[in-house]
Chain A
Amino acid sequence: MLVLTRKLGQSITLGDDIQVTVLAVEGDRVSLGVEAPRAVRIFRSELLAGTKEVNREAASSAMIHLKEITKKDL
C-alpha cells in the first residue's frame, strides 16, 4: 500500500484523470472529494466487500419455506 500524507485541501492523483482531495477533517472523519471520468466506479470500499459477502450468502439461501412465506392467507 502506498502511504501519502496530505493536509486539508491537498490532493492525490491516480493515473491520468482521477483526483482525490481532502476537503475537510473533523475529528476522525475525513471528507474526500473525488474527481474522475463518469465511467469510473467510485464507492465506499466496505460496500464492495459487503456486497460480495451478501451475494455469497444469498446464493446459499434457504429455499424451503418460501412458499409458506408467500402463501396468501384465505
Chain B
Amino acid sequence: MQLATTRFGNIEIDEQKILHFNQGLPGWESEKRFILISNEETEPFHWLQSLDGASLALAVINPYFLFPDYCPAVPERVFNELNVHDENDLLLLTVVVIPQDFENMTTNLAAPILINAQKNLGLQVILENTEYSLRCPIYEAVRSLVGGGTAHAGVDA
C-alpha cells in the first residue's frame, strides 16, 4: 500500500509488516501503527514511521551493534504484552537523536523499543531500575561500525 510521509515522500509499504504499538509511544500515545523502514545506504540506522501521522518518524538503531555488552533488564510484563515467551524472539532497537551537529548524536538506552516481528507488536519500555542513559553518545561507535577511518562528515554542515 502507498503511504504518504513527510520525510520520505510517498512510499510503498508491505501491509503485512505494519507494527501495532497498543500503547503508542511516550509523547504520542495515540499513534498506534508504525512501519520499520530500512535502507542499505543508511544502515545501521532505520526509521520507525508512523502510519497515522505522516510527519512522525524516529531514527532507530540496533544498540547491540554499537555496545555488545548492552544488557537491559526487560520487565516480565513486556513479554506478555508482546505475546512472546523468549527474549530472543524480540527485536530491540533504541531511538536515535541526530542533531544538526550530528557528531553529537545520541541514543536512548534507558527506554528501548521492543518488537515482536512475528506478531507485529511493538512497544517502548522505560527500564525500571536502570543506570543506562537517555542520551548515550554513539557517533564514534557508529563510525567504527561502518569501518570509517577519517570521517567524511562535516561537509555541507
- The answer to whether A and B interact is yes
- Listed in ascending order, the chain A residues whose CB lies under 8 Å from chain B are 38-44, 47-48, 50-59, 61-73
Known A-B contacts A41-B126, A50-B110, A51-B26; A69 and B143 likewise in contact (beta carbons under 8 Å): yes
Known A-B contacts A38-B77, A51-B126; A65 and B147 likewise in contact (beta carbons under 8 Å): no
Q: Is the CB of B135 within 8 A of A54?
A: yes
A32 to chain B, nearest CB (A): 11
Of B10-18, B82-90, B91-99, B114-122, the one contacting chain A is: B91-99
Q: Is the CB of B126 within 8 A of A69?
A: no
Which residues in A have their C-beta under 8 angstroms from that of B76? Answer: 38
10 tightest CB-CB pairs across the interface, nearest first? Answer: A61-B98, A52-B27, A51-B111, A43-B126, A55-B27, A50-B134, A58-B58, A57-B97, A51-B26, A52-B26
B151 to chain A, nearest CB (A): 7
Which residues in A have their C-beta under 8 angstroms from that of B135? Answer: 54
How many A-B contacts are there with CB distance less than 8 Å? 120
| Additional pairs, 6, CB under 8 Å, beyond known A38-B76, A59-B55 | A48-B26, A58-B98, A61-B99, A68-B153, A70-B45, A71-B148
Which residues in B have their C-beta under 8 angstroms from that of A51? Answer: 26-27, 108, 110-111, 124, 126, 134
Considering the complex, give the chain A residue whose CB is closest to the CB of B134: A50
B80, B97, B151, B157: the one contacting A69 at CB < 8 Å is B151
A20 to chain B, nearest CB (A): 14
